[in-house]
Amino acid sequence: MNEALKDTRSKEAKALREAAKKQGGFTPEEIQLSQQKARELAKSPANVHAIEDPVYDSEIELPDGKKYRRMKGRDVWCLFKNPVKCDPGFSSEVNQAADKANNSTLTPIPSEVLEQYRKLTEFEIFRRAGDEADEIAWTVIRERYPSNEAALRKILGSEYRQPHIATAIQRRAGRELTRMKLQSGGVANLPAGEKALKWPLSSLATHTERWALRNIPLQPGDVLDIIGQYDPCGSCIRAMEEAAERTGATIKYWWPGGSPGLTFGPG
């Protein structure tokens, strides 16, 4: 990789990390105006477009450059600027317009094909989704890892996270080495040094991402996939970034609604 391209990618990665650290960012007035404009635009079918995306199926582009996108299989609309603001139960009229747009352009997945995918291992599902951009694989991932939208809305704008369950998968040279189910919490189980930390540092140390980084020894070239229920807090983003730089491994974090996820390291 030439130095110019390397520098460009480094800047892009840094920008993505900085964007991911931001929490909230939408004022109530901004959200209200955006929703109002989206409803107006949805009255004309030409303004609601079906899109090809692993997570979203429909899009409405607003005059100010923002976009609303609807999560597949759920009437949850996400407002894209930076960061993203998701809103369930957005509007029945808008959802009907999106359904109409999708019914005219997208082909349903045959039930027998979907059942075959459901029998695949998590490693194979994520390999197909990540390496081959397999749409059916993404559908199965969303089934296995439902998003906790209620908790996400409640805690938006804070480092605090509701109890969180995640899966960590470590691969080396394409072979799965470790698979770990993780649950946040458990200050009493922390190593002595971290247990002695004052709140909120002791609480942050019990997040699922921290448990994965603490218990899975990484080497250069390893890939660690962490699949969570919602977006990581700023503290965990920094921890994953530092771990990737320290070990030479690639760390990827994915959650429903967060396509394409976050990647730290050479990956």
Question: What's the pLDDT tens digit per position in 150-192?
Answer: 443 443 344 444 567 889 999 999 899 999 888 876 666 677 7
Domain locations along the chain: 23-103, 108-144, 157-264
Residue pair 147/229 in contact (Cβ under 8 Å)? The answer is: yes
Residue 168's closest CA among 100, 98, 218? 218
Cut 0.85: pTM above it: no
pLDDT of amino acid 132: 61
pLDDT of amino acid 218: 96
Q: How far apart are CA 126 and CA 133, in angstroms?
A: 10
Alpha-helical (H) ranges within 24-148 are: 28-42, 92-103, 111-118, 122-132, 135-144
Distances (CA, A) of 224 to 10, 57, 112, 240, 256: 20, 28, 31, 10, 18
Handedness of CA 236, 240, 241, 247 (dihedral sign): positive
Instruction: Report which residue type is found at 202.
Output: S
The two structure tokens encoding residue 1: 């990789």
Residue pair 188/210 in contact (Cβ under 8 Å)? The answer is: no
Q: Which residue stretches of the chain have pLDDT < 50? A: 1, 16-17, 19-24, 83, 148-161
pLDDT of amino acid 52: 77
Residue pair 31/255 in contact (Cβ under 8 Å)? The answer is: no
Question: Which residues share a beta bridge with 208?
Answer: none
The two structure tokens encoding residue 223: 């890939």
Q: How far apart are CA 193 and CA 179, in angstroms?
A: 26
